[in-house]
Each structure stands twice: as structure tokens, then as C-alpha cells.
Structure 1
Amino acid sequence: MTEDRKMLEPMATVVSVALRILLGLLTVGVVVSIVRGSWGGSFVCITDESTTSSVTPLPAATEIGAQVDSIPRYCAEEPGAYLRFLDELTGLPSTLLLISSLFLLHRLLQGAAREGVYTMRTAARFRLLGWWLLVGSLVVEITEANARAALLAELAKSVDFTAWAWLEQDMWTFPSLAVLIGLGLLSFARITRAGTSMREDLEGVV
């Protein structure tokens, strides 16, 4: 499968190196947090982007016609375990999705280099990675949005946490790029499967 291995470069090498670097950074972060005895920094902060008001700046601070907005930012100086957990939950799922997606992509490329691009296993790995990105990106975005909404409700008296707070407070952004990549990978899975069937048919004729 030398030709297939050549076709997958330099992507296979880049993914392998990136995966090792991210795993190394994650391990170092966990070790440092354990040594320090706490997760995150000294402060836990959240910005309420749904509440924006205009302020009157100093005359020399802005150009003519410019406007300055004030967006409230709430911080807890001595956050407890629950606030730290919510703070970690606002970003950690994205990191885990990135690392797990790179792992699946690394496994796909390694398998394709070893067994060949046009195989049923490669098609199955394309399909797995596609669904993982498609569903995982939506789950991660909703999870992080809920964590941000819950954190804001803990720090701001004027905000209550509800089942739809993450939508009402503009905490959620549709992961359009990840969804498009996931759909593209599912299409590649079908193409690879069709190519594999054609290849098997040709080999049977020959």
C-alpha cells in the first residue's frame, strides 16, 4: 500500500504530530492543576453578552461617529468547586472533542495507509468520524452554552437559569463549520464505499 501511504502525506504526519502535542499539553495542564491543588485561575468570570448598553466616552477617546458599548462581566474572586466546575465546562468539552476527533482521524489515516484507501473499513472510519463531528459538535456547543448560562445565573442576581436560558442569553453559536465537515465526511464515506464496490467488481472481472 505504498501508493496509498504517499497519497495521505503530509496530512497523516501533521495529524499525528498535532495529536501528540495536544495530548502532551493536556497532560501537563492536568499535572499542574493537581500540583497547585485547584483547577483554573484565581478568578472565574463570565460575560453577559445579551445585556449591552451605550456609554458616553471622553471626547478624545473615540473618532467622530463612533460609539462605545458597555457589556457587563461578572467575576468571582474566590470561586468554590461548583463555580470552577462550571467554568471548566465552558471550554473543556471543545478541547476533548478536538482531541478525540484528531484521534479518529489519525486512526483513519493510519488504517488507510496500511490497508488501502478504497476498503470497507476506511469507509466505516469516514462514517464514524463524520457522525462524531456532526453530533459531537452540537452536543458540545449546547453543553458549553448551558454551563455559561448556569455560571452567569450563579454570579448575576438579575439572571435566572432556565432550560432555554442558553438560547435567550445568546450563549449558543451554531457550529456550522464542524457540521459541514461532518456532512462532508459522511459523503466521503459513501464515495469510498462505492469506489470499493467498483474495485471489487473490476477485480472479479479480471
Structure 2
Amino acid sequence: MVEGRKLLEPLFSTVSVALRVVVGVVVVGFVLSLFVDGVHFSWVGGDVCVTAEGTSGSSRSADVMFGAREGVDVSSTPRYCASDPSSSQRALDALRTLPSFTLMIGGLFLLNRLLKGAIRDGVYAPRTASRLRVLGWSLLLGSLAVEVTQAIAQSALLATLADSDMASVGDMWQIPFFSIFTALGLLTFARIVRAGVVMREEIEATI
């Protein structure tokens, strides 16, 4: 077990500490937002703001205001804020931010579980390969679901703040290339670990 932990350092210690810190910050921030004025946690209190991605404009006054040089135009993207948002606007605002945060917490939890299991069962173990595969699929499907959900929520929220259709879901949505390639890498390593398990079992059977 000690050798397995050394093999997985410094990732194991970093993930373990990060998970505890993030959970602690979430709990403390949520409690403070309920009892301390001026402290806001995500959708609890505060203004609801959204930027109209994909929409921009420019004017001479903006050029002067931001000190643009001769022949340089300053473009701006409108940002809409509701100082007294409705419950539906707060719900949309939560859907616009919470999914990515939830994915991060879930990913840290699964990664921490994977590393603990690898220390206990060994790196080349069937359970380790299975947990690695679960982490890969969770990241792949979760990142896509998060992007779509947040884009729809942001577009719907913007529709409640602006009279006209300022941006579509396509303007809000971006393909999470880094998460996709990372997930594919995890799935590939899961197959490598599984192949290593089979090879070890065959070697042990011949001895």
C-alpha cells in the first residue's frame, strides 16, 4: 500500500486536499450567505447578470471613453443585470453556473475514489480499470451535458432580460475540446490498465 501511494504521488495528496478545500468553501460560503448581509453564494442573493455572447456594438463615445487611438474602434458586448430578479430568473442563473461546478466536484470525488482504490487494490487491478473507465465516461458525457445545459439556461435568462433575441443557444455553447480529449485519454488508459491486468493474470497462471 505504501509503495502504491508513492507511485501515485503527488496527485493523490493534491486531489485529496483540493476536494476537502472545495467542499469546505462551499459549505462555509453557503452558510455565510444565509446569515451575513452582503455575502452572496451563487444564486442566493445578489443581482442576476448575463452577457449577450455573440452580440457586440461600437460607438464614437465608447472609443473616446476607453482612450482608443486614431483609427481604432472599441467594440462592446452588452451585459444585462436584474437588481430584483424573479425566482425563475434565479433558477436560470443557477442552471447557468451550477452544472460546471457540480461536474468539478463530482470529478474530484471520482478521481479521489480512483486513487484511493488504486492504493488499496493496486494500479493493475480490475477495479482500478473499472473506476478509470467510469471517470472517463463521466467526464466525457458530463462536460457535454454541462455545456448544453448552461447554454440553454443562459439563452433563456437573456430572453427574460432583453426585449429582443440578442443571442441564440449556438452563440452561448462552446465545444469542450480539452475535457473531451482528457476523457478519451482516460478511457484509453483504462484499456491499457485492463490489458495489464490480463497479462499479469496470465503470467501468474504460468508460474
Normalising by structure 1, report the TM-score: 0.91
What displacement does 1:41 show?
4.1
Moved more, 124-133 or 38-47: 38-47
Match of 2:104 among 98, 108, 132: 98
What displacement does 1:66 show?
2.5
1:204 aligns with 2:188: no
Alignment of 1:14-163 (within 5 A): 14-35=14-35, 39-56=43-60, 57-58=63-64, 61-159=67-165
What displacement does 1:73 show?
1.4
What displacement does 1:40 show?
3.6
What displacement does 1:34 show?
3.1
CA 1:60–1:25: 2 relative to 1, 3 Å:
closer
Large movers: runs of 4+ above 4 Å: none
CA distance in 1, matches of 2:70, 2:134: 54
CA 1:124–1:63: 2 relative to 1, 3 Å:
same
CA distance in 1, matches of 2:160, 2:177: 30
Moved more, 42-51 or 133-142: 42-51
CA distance in 2, matches of 1:197, 1:65: 67
> Percent of aligned positions with the same letter in both sequences?
50
What displacement does 1:124 show?
0.1
CA 1:60–1:54: 2 relative to 1, 3 Å:
closer
- Residue identity in the other structure for 1:108: L
CA 1:86–1:131: 2 relative to 1, 3 Å:
same
CA distance in 2, matches of 1:60, 1:130: 45
CA distance in 2, matches of 1:48, 1:182: 30
What displacement does 1:64 show?
3.8
Structural RMSD (CA): 1.9
CA 1:64–1:116: 2 relative to 1, 3 Å:
same
CA 1:198–1:82: 2 relative to 1, 3 Å:
same
Question: Who is 2:169 aligned against?
Answer: 166
What displacement does 1:36 show?
5.5
- Residue identity in the other structure for 1:30: F
Normalising by structure 2, report the TM-score: 0.91
What displacement does 1:184 show?
0.5
Q: Which runs of 5+ in 2 are unaligned?
A: none
TM-superposition CA deviations, 1:34-78 (whole Å, max 9, x none): 336984443111111222112222298113443200221111111
